[in-house]
């Protein structure tokens, strides 16, 4: 069931930039396939990025990822983090809604 929810959240919020292959046609910064974040077995980085987005010092015109922490619940963020680690990384993580709740307290606002 979590895989279904993770796929649904990915489809709604992620696929347009990251692509179903994980290799972005929009920007090399948005390519997630094989990235460090999706290969983290704890999914901590993936979840924190979903919660807070990214803020990079990039060349003019380069994109940053928006924060989805206020858009999605802890359960949805855990599901999408587990989905992307399984689809684009080496193995699906087992992040829980409680883990995401705890990460929200550690994540910069």
Q: Please name the residues in contact with 17: beta carbons below 8 A apart, sequence gap of 6 or more.
A: 24, 26, 27, 30, 63, 65
The stretches in the chain having pLDDT less than 70 are 1-2, 56-62, 107-109
Residue 37's contacts (CB-CB under 8 Å, 6 or more residues apart) are 45, 46, 49
pLDDT at 64: 81
Domains of the chain are 2-106 (1.10.760.10)
Q: How far is it, in rounded angstroms, from Cα 69 to Cα 59?
A: 26
Residue 14 CB contacts under 8 Å (≥ 6 apart), including other chains: 80, 84
Give the predicted TM-score (pTM) of the model. 0.89
Q: What is the reported pLDDT for 58? A: 63
């Amino acid at each position: 069931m979590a895989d279904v929810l993770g796929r649904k959240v990915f489809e709604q919020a992620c696929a347009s930039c990251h692509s179903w292959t994980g290799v972005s046609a929009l920007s090399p910064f948005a390519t997630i396939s094989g990235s460090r974040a999706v290969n983290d077995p704890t999914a901590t980085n993936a979840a924190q990025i979903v919660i807070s987005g990214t803020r990079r010092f990039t060349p003019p015109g380069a994109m940053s990822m928006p924060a989805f922490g206020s858009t999605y619940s802890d359960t949805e963020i855990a599901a999408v983090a587990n989905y992307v680690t399984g689809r684009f990384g080496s193995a699906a993580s087992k992040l829980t809604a409680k883990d995401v709740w705890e990460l929200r307290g550690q994540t910069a606002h």
